[in-house]
Every structure is written in structure tokens, then in C-alpha cells.
């Protein structure tokens, strides 16, 4: 304390118990101090006491720091899509300061950046005490990219015709820990699993990353074709005595049920080897016929046919 009006040679006394006891020395304590001060001059006169109260504050506690919203897969993983901080333990009237360079410079404002944020936070209380700094690190992630979608196997006649006999999707750009969702109704409902159906499939795919961001959906359409029907096989001309006796003098076949773009194969050795061409031989012909459609699906059970080719007899000599 700073005293004025003390006479030369006077003795100064202090009381901190309302004047019950007096001492010639005074030591302030942390917090509220209620003191009385008097002087006894050289003539032995004791003055009235002057009362004085003050608060001694010699330190400020480091503030508590957390995320306002920890939106990651865990509530304590320090991954978020909201880059604001929640401070606790800040004294009334104190000034809060932030540093993002290890404490070299300080600012009264803080704006998180995309990615990793290393921040330090301190407070300066109304008594002028600067607290220790609290360090806090977190990752700000405010967006998720739409995943890439393709067929695992595009088995059609072209590698990009989106026709396949394998209905699984190959996804790219999926973030570690992200949840992938599929929609087959234009985005009205979403599921974490997808099963392709025979025929046309219109699917949307999106991901929700560990920060809670949901990407835009990627739309993808493809045709799943897992079977090819066995073609119908008949003689172009059944010229025998019966139209169904499989005896002919014309060794060409009439195929039906062949899909557009399909490849037709023939076997004359019971299915051991196959060829895209067939030439009938004189006599009995045992043949199998199958088709491979544009989805590269083979008919597992080829259609078998037998026919006998008999040439007409040569004309009689004259």
C-alpha cells in the first residue's frame, strides 16, 4: 500500500481483524484484503484508523479448450466440420488470446483453417496476469468428394459399354473411415449395401466422411446380364420324306433366339472344342450350338442337334 500524510517519526500500525490487534507490518494475501491503518506520532498521539479494502490477484489459470462440435466418428477424436472452440475457465473481464505459431505471436481472434490446426490459448485477467497457454490440436474437414464409380468387370463387347455379367461396383476416392451409401430410387432412400438386379441398374453412390460431411452423389447406370438363352437350332431345309426327320440335302442351319451382338459357336466333338463357323459333312452330323452375348455370358447348356445329309443321286447315263 502507498501511505500519505504520515508524520515524520510516526509509527504506522496495521490491523486486518477490524482493529482488535495491530502490527507494524502488513503482508497482503491472495484474494480480498480488509486493512485498517493508523499512526502514532512522536508525541504519543494515536490517529483514527483509515479502512481500505482491495483484492490481490497474482495469477490467471490456463483456460480449458475443446471443440464446440466434435463431429468425427468419435466424440473425442478432434475431427470436426465446425471449426469453433469452446473455452472454459475464462475469468470475467479477461482478454483471451490465440497463437497458431507456437506462441511467437498472439491475437484476440482465431479462425480455423481446413486441415490440421495447432492452437494455443491464454487469458490475461483484469489484474493484468497472463495465464499459461493451453495447447489444442484438431482437424477441420468441411467437405467430402463424390466417389468415383465403375464396374469391377465391364464384360460387354466394349470395356465402356456398361454391360456386364458381374454386378459389383468398383469405388474410388473413398476416404479412410468413410461410410458409403447407395440409392436405387433417385436419392429418396439410402443403404450401406447394394445388390445389382438383372437388367438395367440406376444407382447413386455417396460417402459420409469421419468429420460428418456427406458428399454429392455419383450417378451410375449399367446393365447386368447373367444368362444367355440356348439358341434354337433347325435345318434351313429339311428335305427328307418328313419335314421333321432331320434328313436333308442342304447342310445349313437355321438359328433362332440369338441375341443382338452375340457370338455363335459350334462344336462337333461333344463340346470339347468350339468354333464360330460350321460346315456340315456328308452323313450324320452331331452338333452343339451356343451363344455368347454382349455381356460375355455363355449359355452353360448348349443346344444339341443331329441331322443326316444325303446328296441327291447323280443323273443316269444316256
At residue 217, does pLDDT exceed 80? yes
Lowest model confidence (mean pLDDT) among 161-175, 181-195, 226-240: 226-240
Give, in order, the Cα–Cα distances in Å from 245 to each of 240, 266, 284.
Answer: 6, 21, 12
- CA-wise closest residue to 141 among 205, 93, 198, 213: 213
- As a whole number, the mean pLDDT across the chain is 92
Task: Give the integer Cα–Cα distance in Å for 108 and 285.
Answer: 95
- 169: its cell numbers: 461396383
User: Taking the CA atoms of the chain, what radius of gyration do you get in angstroms?
Assistant: 47
Average pLDDT over residues 230-235: 90
Return the pLDDT at 115. Answer: 97
| Fold type of domain 148-224 | Immunoglobulin-like (2.60.40)
At residue 175, does pLDDT exceed 60? yes
Task: Give the integer Cα–Cα distance in Å for 307 and 233.
Answer: 11
Return the pLDDT at 264. Answer: 93
Return the pLDDT at 36. Answer: 97
**Residues in Cβ contact with 139 at an 8 Å cutoff, skipping those fewer than 6 apart:** 78, 79, 80, 115, 116, 117, 211
Give, in order, the Cα–Cα distances in Å from 33 to each of 11, 23, 129.
Answer: 22, 15, 18
Residue ranges per domain, the chain? 11-56, 64-140, 148-224, 232-309
Average pLDDT over residues 112-123: 98
User: Beta strand 163-164 with 218-224: parallel, antiparallel or unpaired?
Assistant: parallel
Average pLDDT over residues 253-276: 92
Domain at 232-309, CATH from 3.40.630, 3.30.43, 1.20.1070, 2.60.40: 2.60.40
Return the pLDDT at 298. Answer: 59
Banded model confidence at residue 254, pLDDT cuts 50, 70, 90 = very high
At residue 306, does pLDDT exceed 70? no
At residue 302, does pLDDT exceed 70? no
**Residues in Cβ contact with 81 at an 8 Å cutoff, skipping those fewer than 6 apart:** 69, 71, 140, 141, 142, 211, 212, 213
**Residue 318: how many other CB atoms lie within 10 Å:** 3
Q: Does 232-309 match 64-140 at the fold level? A: yes
Domain spanning 64-140: which CATH class is it, in words? mainly beta
Return the pLDDT at 300. Answer: 45
Amino acid at each position: 500500500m502507498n501511505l500519505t500524510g504520515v508524520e515524520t517519526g510516526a509509527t504506522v500500525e496495521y490491523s486486518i481483524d477490524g482493529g482488535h490487534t495491530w502490527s507494524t507490518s502488513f503482508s497482503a494475501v491472495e484474494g480480498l484484503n480488509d486493512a485498517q491503518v493508523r499512526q502514532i506520532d512522536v508525541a504519543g498521539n494515536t490517529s483514527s484508523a483509515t479502512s481500505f479494502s482491495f483484492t490481490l490477484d497474482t495469477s490467471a489459470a490456463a483456460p480449458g479448450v475443446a471443440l464446440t462440435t466434435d463431429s468425427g466418428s468419435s466424440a473425442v477424436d478432434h475431427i470436426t466440420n465446425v471449426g469453433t472452440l469452446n473455452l472454459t475457465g475464462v475469468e470475467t473481464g479477461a482478454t483471451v488470446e490465440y497463437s497458431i505459431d507456437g506462441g511467437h505471436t498472439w491475437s484476440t481472434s482465431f479462425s480455423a483453417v481446413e486441415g490440421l490446426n495447432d492452437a494455443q490459448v491464454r487469458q490475461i485477467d483484469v489484474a493484468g496476469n497472463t495465464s499459461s497457454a493451453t495447447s489444442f490440436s484438431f482437424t477441420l474437414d468441411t467437405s467430402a468428394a463424390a466417389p468415383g464409380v465403375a464396374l469391377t468387370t465391364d464384360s460387354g463387347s466394349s470395356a465402356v459399354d456398361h454391360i456386364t455379367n458381374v454386378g459389383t461396383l468398383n469405388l474410388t476416392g473413398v476416404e479412410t473411415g468413410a461410410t458409403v451409401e447407395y440409392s436405387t430410387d433417385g436419392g429418396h432412400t439410402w443403404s450401406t449395401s447394394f445388390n445389382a438386379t438383372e437388367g438395367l441398374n440406376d444407382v447413386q453412390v455417396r460417402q459420409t466422411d469421419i468429420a460428418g460431411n456427406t458428399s454429392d452423389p455419383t450417378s451410375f447406370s449399367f446393365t447386368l446380364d447373367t444368362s444367355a438363352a440356348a439358341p434354337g437350332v433347325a435345318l434351313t431345309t429339311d428335305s427328307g420324306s418328313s419335314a421333321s426327320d432331320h434328313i436333308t440335302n442342304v447342310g445349313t442351319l437355321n438359328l433362332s433366339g440369338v441375341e443382338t451382338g452375340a457370338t455363335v459357336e459350334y462344336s462337333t466333338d461333344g463340346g470339347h472344342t468350339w468354333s464360330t463357323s460350321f460346315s456340315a459333312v456328308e452323313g450324320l452330323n452331331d452338333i452343339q450350338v451356343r451363344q455368347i452375348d454382349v455381356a460375355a455370358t455363355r449359355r452353360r447348356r448348349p443346344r444339341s442337334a443331329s441331322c443326316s445329309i444325303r446328296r441327291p443321286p447323280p443323273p443316269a447315263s444316256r
